[in-house]
Amino acid sequence: MQSNVNDSQRVVGILGFGYSASYFAKLLLKNGIKVWGTTSSTQKCNIYKDIKLISFDSIEVPSYIKKSTGLLVSIPPEENQDLVLARYAEQIISTAINISWIGYLSSTSVYGDHGGNWVDESSTCSPTYLRSISRLKIEQQWLEFALEHKLPLTVFRLSSIYGPHRSAIEKVHNRKSVTIARTGHLISRIHVIDIARALYLSFKKPNTNEIYNLSDDHPENTVVIDNYAAELLNVPPLKVINYNSLNSTQTIRGFYQDFKQVSAQKIKTSLGLNLKFPTYKNGLNHCYNEFFEKNSRPY
């Protein structure tokens, strides 16, 4: 592990350059750290001029892994397997001496249903639907892989992600959706900027084989959040559909099936994370301002 490397000498590879990863990349670049990543989007290649973006299947990937001092894995499981381990495990093992940090993005859905009680990183994981079961399985594979090869892995379990241009503001503005109501059901969320900040703190102070929840301090009902977005936009609330009226085969039903409140206290005490957006109101106010700037005015 390289603890004495200057930021200007660090190179972070992002395997799966998605929404959350892009905010982490911006923070790394701001601090003089070089970034490369994999993507299937040619549009992203045109947008992120300071980042070398290549295809996941590119013959260049092994050479980029070799010169990396950190890796973020944000590709979800596919057909119950991890694509990164399946394709690039040997390259990561051979580069272990150079890597000071590996972050793996998972989901708080691995906890399953806890009847509305608070969960933390020590809580039992009993995922209830296939995608979450797969998430937990891949998490465990990464932890075992890291332990076997002495790799500095940190797993991040993310609550429902929102942020600029991907929030209840856009949902209400576009009016192509409805609000699902389930009595007493609260959902934990995390603003994408706080995800990036948490990842950066971990990158700067790696803790091997740790698991951290990423969530804000105020789990809330979806109806309340969507109505607050409508209030900011000064438009009528979305139509409300009762959870019990959803067809059992509808994918959206799974999102409301589990009931838990996610605590992120561990990352605050361990790494000193101070949430910039501790509540949905803080976060949606920011999203509204970003929306307003992008569109000049909402209507």
Q: What is the 3-state secondary structure (H, E, C) of the chain?
A: CCCCCCHHHCEEEEECCCHHHHHHHHHHHHCCCEEEEECCCHHHHHHCCCCEEECCCCCCHHHHHHCCCEEEECCCCECCECHHHHHHHHHHHHCHHHCCEEEEEEEHHHHECCCCCEECCCCCCECCCHHHHHHHHHHHHHHHHHHHCCCCEEEEEECEEEECCECHHHHHHHCCCCEEECCCCCECEEEHHHHHHHHHHHHHCCCCCEEEEECCCCCECHHHHHHHHHHHHCCCCCCEEEHHHCCCCCHHHHHHHCCCEECCHHHHHHHCCCCCCCCHHHHHHHHHHHHHHHHCCCC
Backbone angles phi, psi at 160, to 5 degrees: -55, 125
* Cβ pair 99, 71 in contact under 8 A: yes
Rounded distance between C-alpha atoms, residue 54 and residue 64, angstroms: 10
Q: Convert the pLDDT of each residue in 277-291 to its tens digit.
A: 999 999 999 999 999
What is the rounded distance in angstroms from the CA atom of residue 118 to the CA atom of residue 170?
Answer: 29
What's the confidence (pLDDT) of residue 141? Answer: 97
Q: What is the pLDDT of residue 208?
A: 87
What per-residue confidence (pLDDT) applies to 8?
A: 64
295 in Cβ contact with 173 (< 8 Å): no
Q: In this predicted structure, what is the pLDDT of residue 80?
A: 86
The span from the first CA to the last CA of the chain, in angstroms, equals 53
Q: What is the pLDDT of residue 297?
A: 44
Prediction pTM value = 0.94
pLDDT per residue over 201-211, tens digit each?
Answer: 999 999 889 99
Tell me the residue type at 162: Y
CATH for 9-162+191-215+262-276, options being 3.40.50.720, 2.60.120.380, 3.40.50.2000, 3.90.1150.10: 3.40.50.720
Question: Residue 161 and residue 198: Cα distance in Å, rounded?
Answer: 14
pLDDT for the residue numbered 218: 97
Q: Residue 48 has which token pair? A: 């992120």
Q: Which residue, among 77, 72, 80, has the nearest Cα to 203 in the 3D structure?
A: 72
Residue 299: the pLDDT is 37
Q: Which residues of the chain have pLDDT under 50?
A: 1-3, 296-299
Find, among 128, 123, 117, the residue nearest to 157 by Cα: 123
